[in-house]
Structure 1
Amino acid sequence: MAPDGITVPPMGGANVRKKRRWRRSAHTPKEGARRTRNYWYTGYNFGYTSRMDFVIEIGRRQRKRQAMHQSLLDVAQRLFEEQGVSRTTVDDIAQAADVARTTVFNHFPSKEAIALELASDTMQHIAEQSQALLESGTAALEVLQCAARAVLDSAINQGELAAAVARELLQSDPDRAGRASELVPVKHIVEAILFQAREEDSLRTDVPVEIVAERFTGQVIQLVTQVGTCDASKLREHLSVCLDILFNGITERSN
């Protein structure tokens, strides 16, 4: 009897074994007559099939793949910090991780995809912090300033890695730009905050939130592409100007 909470799978399945048995005809002959007709039939010896071995094997494979995926990320991050993104190749990553080049491509379609995944944790943290501020009652436009400055500050700390990610976000290829936006959703964070600002009646009612979010996000990403080639204080100054222009354009004007 199965314990509560466990579903017992049906009998049979992959582990069914066939057994051949000899059986005489079911025909009952007249008294004194001989049984002359015999035939084979196939009987089935059913056994309990749980598929547990299959599930365990799949789990092992997934854990092994996840471990390799994380190992490649760790190796790539170290090389990016030591050599820079532009001077690091997929062959370098494969050699440092002691795997074949094809193994790297089995996990990441390109070197830039690795950079995007490394940056995704930072964006997740910024999104969570922004959500926490909104839930605490902080005004949405103030949260937007904090989020934009956090994006730029993290980019300055990441250096060339952030610039490479920004270039992926600005890709002319819509597929590449779309994949980058999924991993580093700057626009979605800005858009969500602006919608909250509208709920607070701090935005003009005629302002198209999606367009404003796209334009402002584009300005922030353009600033990030200059990380490493432009002084950090200049980048922060440019961001302050962008924020001032944004707020002057989207907030309700007093008479």
Structure 2
Amino acid sequence: MESASLRERQKERRRARIYGVAIELFKQGGFQTTTATDIAKASNVSRGTFFNYYPYKEAVLLDYGSAVVEELRALAESRLAEGTPPATVLQEVWMRLAEQNEHERDLIPPLAYEVLNPDPERARIAYQALPLGKVIEMILRPMQQAGQLRSDLSLSRMSNLIADTYLMIALRWSAYGGGRSLQEEMRLTLSFLMDGVMRR
């Protein structure tokens, strides 16, 4: 039993090392130019070992995105527990995500494309790894309970529409740029979206 536990810890450490090295290489040299062989070599593992942990290169980004969303969830829970109004919490979470994505601009397109992958299984895995809609749903629930949101759409649908819009705006911004920062684009986008979900 103890040896099995030791093996699990070793596997977790190896996965963490591969992940850390891969993200660093993506940031330094770009996602597209970094190969699985590059990651394996820099991690001191074989190419086969890399694929044992990550069946495709984009899967590393799903771990990255999952960690980002988990940080946002923790921030939202903390701010809501402090009594911060949900609309303010959503703005803070939204802008925190935009700030992070602005710094990691090259990682947005491959992550977004994975969510839109034509392979349904890969798209499903990506969608489950990046539950931004669930975080938004948690933030908006008190507003729904207070009767502040429109009632002709479910809370889940509104939350997913907001999350999906974030993804598409971030993808377009990272690909084409524009005169505004991503944070400014997202500030305007969130204002527009919230007008759409509030009860009139």
Aligned match of 2:7: 61
Aligned match of 1:134: 80
Alpha-carbon spacing, 1:232–1:100, altered in 2? closer, same or farther (3 Å): farther
> For residue 14 of structure 2, what is the amino acid of its counterpart?
M
TM-score (norm 2): 0.90
Unaligned runs of 5+ in 1: 1-54
TM-score (norm 1): 0.72
Aligned match of 1:195: 141
Identity percentage of aligned residues: 26
Q: Distance in 1 between matches of 2:160 and 2:120?
A: 15
Q: 1:170 aligns with which of 107, 116, 124?
A: 116
Greater percentage in strand: 1
Q: 1:97 aligns with which of 37, 43, 46?
A: 43
Q: Distance in 2 between matches of 1:133 and 1:93?
A: 38
CA contact (8 A) 1:156 1:228 kept: no
Residue 214 (structure 1) aligned with residue 188 (structure 2): no
Residue 252 (structure 1) aligned with residue 162 (structure 2): no
Higher alpha-carbon deviation: 85-94 or 113-122? 113-122
Higher alpha-carbon deviation: 135-144 or 163-172? 163-172
Greater percentage in helix: 2
1:7-26 aligned at under 5 Å gives the runs: none
Residue 236 (structure 1) aligned with residue 183 (structure 2): yes
Larger radius of gyration: 1
Greater RCO, CA 8 A, separation 6+: 2
CA contact (8 A) 2:69 2:130 kept: yes
Deviations 1:107-164 (A, max 9, x none): 0111100111123222111110011111111221222222222221111112212332
RMSD of the TM alignment (CA)? 1.8
Number of aligned positions between the proteins:
199
SS at 1:252 equivalent? coil
Aligned match of 2:92: 146
Unaligned runs of 5+ in 2: none
